[in-house]
Structure 1
Amino acid sequence: MTNHVITVTLSESKKQKPQSDQLEFGRVFTDHMFVADYCEGQGWTDHRIIPYAPLEMDPAATVFHYGQTIFEGLKAYVGKEGQVLLFRPEENMRRMNKSSERLCMPAFNEEIAIEALEKLISIDKDWIPVTEGTSLYIRPFMVATEPYLGVSPSKKYKFIIILSPVGSYYKEGIHPVKILVENEYVRAVAGGTGTAKTAGNYASGLRAQEIASKKGYSQVLWLDGVERKYIEEVGSMNVFFKINGEVITPILNGSILEGITRKSILQLLRHWDIPVVERKISMEELRSAHQAGTLEEAFGTGTAAVVSPIGELNWGDDIMVVNNNQTGELSKKLYETLTGIQTGKVEDSFGWVVEVTDTVKV
C-alpha cells in the first residue's frame, strides 16, 4: 500500500546561498530534501519533504556492504520568462525503475516521484541560479537500509531527492577535450550492471580516470569488456562519431547506459534528416576513418555537459586529432539546440520540457 500524501516540514534556518560565479558541481545543497521509506510488506510510506540533514543509518545497512544503490541526475532551469523548467523528468524516473529492477530494489511510482520533485523544487526555487549556463542539479537516489549482513536483497530502503545549484560546465566556452582510450580496465560487460545507474559502475571507473588525468587527459574511452575492440562510452557519457557525413553511436548492447541526452540527440538528428545509425564501431574502424580524413567530429553526451566535443584520441601509439581540435558545426548546433530547449529559448516541438507549477501548501 502506497501513501500518496507528501508532508512538508520547512527549515527554520536557511543556508547562505553561494554566488553564481563560485559554484562548483555537487558541493553545495539546498535547504530541503525529499525522503520516503520502504519496508517489505508495507510498500512506500511516509513521503516527506524535510530540512536537508545527515542520514542516520545502521552500520550493517546493506548499502554499505553489498552496494545496493541506484541514482539519477537531471537539472532544473530558469526560463526566459522566469518559469522553472525540467527536461524530460519522466525519462529519468523510468530509467531509475529499470535500474531498481536490475539491483533487486523496489520500484517507485514515477508520477509520485515527479510530484515530489516539483514540490521540492517549488520550495527551494530561490536556489536555482539564473546566470547563463547555470542550473539546479537534481539527484534522486535509493539506498538499501536493512541492517543485515546476509547476501540477499534488503527488505528496507530509502528514496531520497537532493538538490544542488551548479555552475556552467563550460565557464570559458565549449572546447574539445583530450581522451585516452582505455585498454586495460573495463567499465561494464553485457549481463552486468552497465545498463543500470548504480554506484559500483562509477567506482570501478575511478582508477582508469586517475591514470588518464595524470597523463593530461580529460576522460577515458571505454572499450567492450570481451574483445577490447568495440567502443562503448566516454567517461560517464555516451559517445558519437561523425564519419563521412553519417553520425554513428554504439548500439545499446546490455553494458551501455541508455542516456536521456543520447536519446534526445538521436531524435534531433533524425528530425534534421541527418544520417544516424546505432551500431557497433571498433577502434580499428575509427583509426581507418581518421587516416582517410573522414572522421569529421566526435563528442560525448550527458546531463552535466550536454555535449562535450572530443578534439584528440590517444590509442596506444596513435594520436588522432579530430577536426583540427576545434568544436565541430554539428556538435555546436546540437549543444545550442538542446540547451536552448532546456532553458526555454528554443521552441520545444518534442514536448520534452515540463514547467514546475506546484504550489506548496503547508
Structure 2
Amino acid sequence: MATAADTIEFRELPHPAPTSDADRALALANPGFGTQFTDHMVSIEWTEGEGWHNATVGPLQPIPLHPASAVLHYAQEIFEGLKAYRHPDGSTALFRPEENARRFNKSADRLAMPHLPEALFISAIEALLAKDGGWIPEGAGASLYLRPFMFADEVFLGVRPAKRYRFMVIASPAGNYFKSGAPAVSIWVSSEYTRAAPGGTGAAKCGGNYAASLVPQAAAIERGFDQVVFLDAVERKWIEELGGMNLFFVFDDGRVVTPALTGTILPGITRASLIELLRAEGLDVSEGRYSIDQWEADARSGKLVECFACGTAAVVTAVGRVAGHDIDFTVGSGGPGQVTEKVKATLTGIQRGEIADSHGWVRKLG
C-alpha cells in the first residue's frame, strides 16, 4: 500500500542560469569522473514527527549548514552510487535502482537514520533525470553518475541520533574511472591498515569507511599502484575488498570465488549481478574465504588464471599485478582474461541496452 511518503510531489524551483548547449557539449566531450556536475539537484527533508516532506528539484547550489550540524560532528551520513545510460533507441535507463534503494536503507539502519521509501528514492532520481537527462554523455564507457545521499543536519552537540535529516541527489557526467588504455590495475596489499572490523560499519555505504581507506590508498599510489586491497581485521590474512570495489578470482578448473559478505564487506550490486551472470555461463561461483598466501600461491602455480575487481564506478576491471611488503606477483597474463572480458561485455551490454535484459534489471524511463 502506498504511503504519503511514497507519493510525495516534487516542487520545481526555477534555474536562473542553466548551462548553455555549447558549454554542456564541451563538458560532455571529456567528462572525466566526478569533476563536473549537472544543473540541478533534488532535496527532501525529514524531521521527527513530520517524516519526509518539502521535496524539491532545483538549481545545483551550495548547502547552507550551521557549524553545529550533527553530520559535521557525529558523521551520520550515507550515500549510494548508480548510473543512467542512453540506450540505442534514445531512451534513458537505470540499472537495478531498487537494489540501491534497499542498500541505502540498510546503511541507514546501521547509522541510526530514517528509512527513505524505495519508491521515493527512485522517484527522486527520475525527477532529476527529467531535468538533466541531456547530460548523459555518449561513447564507450560513458554514463551519468548519480549520487543519492543523506545526512543529519539537526543543530546540536550531543551523542545521539539526530532528529532532522536531508536526502539529496546530484549527478555527474562520467567517462572511464581508471586511466584510459590500462589493460589491468595494479594492487598494493595493505598490511598496516584495515578497512572494517566485525561489528563495524563495513557493510554500510558511509563516508567514514572511505575516509579510513585514504591513507593506505595514498600509500599505494605513492608506490606506483592503482588501488589498495584490504585484509580482514582479525587474522590479517583473508582478502576482503579494495577501497571501493569487490574482488573475484577465476581458476583454471572453471571455479570462481569471491569473498563472502561477512558484515565487513560492502554488498556490491555489480558483485551480485556478476555472480548471476557467471553462473548463467555455467561457472561454479562460490562465496567464501580466500587468503593472501593462497592468492600468491595460486597465481604462481597457474591455478589462478584471472582476477578482477568490480563496482558501479569502475564496472569490471582486470587485476594484473599484486604486491606488498614481502610479496610481488602477476595474475595470469597480467591483463584481462577471457572470463573477465566476457562477463564485462555482457554486463555493460545489458546496462546499455545492447543485449536483451532477461533478468529484469533495466528500468527504462522513456
> Structure 2 length as normaliser, TM-score?
0.95
Q: Partner of 2:52: helix, strand, or coil?
A: strand
Given the alignment of the two structures, is residue 274 of structure 1 paired with residue 274 of structure 2, yes or no?
no
Deviations 1:76-105 (A, max 9, x none): 010111110100000001100000000000
1:360 is matched with which residue? none
Deviations 1:166-222 (A, max 9, x none): 123366346111101111000001210000000000000000000000000000111
Given the alignment of the two structures, is residue 158 of structure 1 paired with residue 162 of structure 2, yes or no?
no
Given the alignment of the two structures, is residue 200 of structure 1 paired with residue 208 of structure 2, yes or no?
yes
Give, as a single letter, the amino acid of the residue that structure 2 aligns with 1:292: S
Post-superposition shift, 1:317?
A: 2.4
Indicate the RMSD between aligned Cα atoms, in angstroms.
1.3
* Preserved CA contact (<8 Å) 1:10 1:32: no
Q: Which moved more, 1:169-178 or 1:48-57?
A: 169-178
Q: Which moved more, 1:258-267 or 1:319-328?
A: 319-328
2:138 is matched with which residue? 130
Q: State the aligned residue count.
A: 357
* Preserved CA contact (<8 Å) 1:191 1:254: yes
Q: Out of 4, 10, 14, which is 1:10 matched to?
A: 14
1:314 is matched with which residue? 323
1:11-160 matches, cutoff 5 A: 11-15=15-19, 16-17=23-24, 18-160=26-168
* Preserved CA contact (<8 Å) 2:69 2:153: yes
Q: Out of 192, 196, 213, which is 1:188 matched to?
A: 196
* Preserved CA contact (<8 Å) 1:174 1:327: no
Post-superposition shift, 1:148?
A: 0.7
* Preserved CA contact (<8 Å) 2:302 2:332: no
1:233 is matched with which residue? 241
The separation in 1 between residues aligned to 2:352 and 2:333, in whole angstroms, is: 31
Q: Out of 250, 265, 276, which is 1:242 matched to?
A: 250
2:313 is matched with which residue? 304
| Structure 2 runs not aligned, ≥5 long | none
* Preserved CA contact (<8 Å) 1:174 1:308: no
The separation in 2 between residues aligned to 1:117 and 1:192, in whole angstroms, is: 29
Give, as a single letter, the amino acid of the residue that structure 2 aligns with 1:297: E
Given the alignment of the two structures, is residue 255 of structure 1 paired with residue 267 of structure 2, yes or no?
no
* Preserved CA contact (<8 Å) 1:21 1:167: no
1:323 is matched with which residue? 332
Post-superposition shift, 1:24?
A: 1.9
Q: Out of 330, 351, 357, which is 2:360 matched to?
A: 351
Q: Partner of 1:19: helix, strand, or coil?
A: helix
The separation in 2 between residues aligned to 1:149 and 1:171, in whole angstroms, is: 43
Given the alignment of the two structures, is residue 341 of structure 1 paired with residue 350 of structure 2, yes or no?
yes
Q: Partner of 2:8: helix, strand, or coil?
A: coil
Q: Partner of 1:300: helix, strand, or coil?
A: strand
Q: Partner of 1:26: helix, strand, or coil?
A: coil
> Structure 1 length as normaliser, TM-score?
0.96
CA distance 1:171–1:199, shift in 2 (3 Å): closer
| Structure 1 runs not aligned, ≥5 long | 358-362
Give, as a single letter, the amino acid of the residue that structure 1 aligns with 2:295: L
Give, as a single letter, the amino acid of the residue that structure 2 aligns with 1:142: M
Q: Aligned residues: percent identity?
A: 45
* Preserved CA contact (<8 Å) 2:29 2:137: no
